[in-house]
Amino acid sequence: MKTELKKKIGILGLGYVGLPLAVKLSSSFQVIGFDISSFRVSQLHKGIDETLEVSKNNLINSFNKNLTITNNEKDLKNCNIYIATVPTPIDERKKPDFSFLINVCKTIGKLLQKGDLVIFESTVHPGATEEICGPELEKNSDKLKCGKDFFLGYSPERVNPGDKVHTIDKINKVIAGQNKDVEKIMFNLYSKLTDGEIFIAKNIKVAEASKVIENSQRDINIAFINEIAKICQKIDISIYDVLDASLTKWNFLDFKPGLVGGHCIGVDPYYLSEKAIKLKINPQVILSGRQTNDGMGKFIAKSIENKIKKNSKILFLGVTFKEDVPDMRNSKSLDLMKILKKRHRLYFHDPFIKKLRNFDFANIENSTTETYDIIVLCVPHKYYTSLGAKKLFRFLKKEGVFFDLKGYFRNKKLKNYFSI
C-alpha cells in the first residue's frame, strides 16, 4: 500500500459530523461530500446548513475551492479514501441499529478499487469495523479482499453540536488502522483537519472502545447525580445547593441532573452493553445508569404535577435535546411533554423548532396577553436566558409557578419558583 496521502476523498453522510469534516478537509484536498437526502444536498447548495454547524460563507467558499456535494453515488467514483459518518442509532427495543452503517458499506463496496482506504467515524461497539463493515465491503466489492486489496481505518467522531469552542479543527483525534501504512496515511490526513493532538491507538478495537466508553462514562456519572437529586427532593433540599458545596473540593466531578438525550450519551451505552451481553458479561452498571436516566422524564413530570392542578395550562420552553442547537434526535423533552399532555393543556415554544406533531406552538414573540398556570423551562436556550426571568414571568398567571429544570435562574430569589 502506498503511504503518500491520496488526493480524492469521499465523505458519506453530511450531518453534524460529515459536513464540518468535508468543509475543513476541502481546504487541503479534493472532497466529494455525499448524502442520500436530495433535500439536504439542495439546501447545502444554497448555503443553508440546518444543523448550524457551518456558516453560509464557509460553505460557499468551500464550493469555490475543492468541495463538491452530491446525492449521486456515481460522483464518488475514483475516490481513494472514503470516510463514513453515518448515524448509529438504537431501535425501539434499544438494540444497536447498524442499518445505516451496512447501507453505506454497500455504497462504498461497489466503488472500491485496489489500494483504497475506508475510514469509519460512526460510534460502534468494539470489533464492529472489522467484524461488520469489513465483510460487508468485501461482499459488495468486485472480489476485493479486506486487508489485502483495500484497508480499514477508524477515527471516532467527537463533534459536540452547538459547541463553538471544541470545534473539529481544534479537538484531539484518535486514529487506528489495519496496519502501519494505513496509520501513516490517516495521521497525515487528520493532521490537515485539526491543530489538536493525533493519538494513534493500538488497534481499531481500542479506538472503537475509547469512543463508546467516553459517552458511557458520562451517562453513568449523570445517572448518579440524578439519583442524588431524587434523594434531595425527598429531604427538601436542592441538588444544586448540594453540588455548589461539593464542588468546593478539588477533585469532585462537575455533573448536573436532568434529562439525558441526544445522539450519543443516550445511545452509545446500549452498543457497549449489547457487546458485553454477547460476551456473557452482565453490564449492570451501564444498564443501571441508562435505566435511571431514561426514567427521569417520569420523575420530573411527577415533580411538576405535584405543584399544579389537573388540566393546567402549561408553557413548555425548549424541546431540542440540548441548548442552542436545532437537533431533535432522541430528545427527552418530548418524553416529558407526552406525559404532561395526558392530563394538561400543553403549548410549546422553541426558537429552533416551530412545528411538532400533536403539539401546539406558542408564539410568545407576538403575544402580550396569553398567560399560563406553569412555565416549564426545559432547555435554557440563550434566547430564554437573554430574555431573563422577569420577561418570562410575564407569561405566568398571578399564582402561576415556574419550573426551571436545569436551575438556571435558581439564584434570582423568584416567587413560585422551583427546580429539580
DSSP for residue 209: H
Q: Cβ distance 122 to 108 under 8 Å? A: no
Distance CA 55, CA 328 (A): 20
Amino acid in the structure at residue 321: F
Residue 351, judged by CB atoms within 10 A of its CB (0-12, 13-18, 19+), counts as middle
Q: Respond yes or no: is residue 264 known to be catalytic.
A: yes
Amino acid in the structure at residue 279: L
C-alpha cell, 350: 422553541
CA 338 to chain centre: 22
C-alpha cell, 55: 456558516
DSSP string over 139-169: HHSSS--BTTTBEEEE------TT-SSS-TT
Q: Is the dihedral of CA 396, 399, 402, 403 positive or negative?
A: negative
Distance CA 63, CA 45 (A): 8
Distance CA 186, CA 137 (A): 19
Can you give 101-145 as a three-state secondary structure string?
Answer: HHHHHHHHHCCCCCCCEEEECCCCCCCHHHHHHHHHHHHHCCCCC
C-alpha cell, 168: 473539529
Query: Which of the following is catalytic: 79, 105, 264, 378?
Result: 264
* Positions marked catalytic: 264
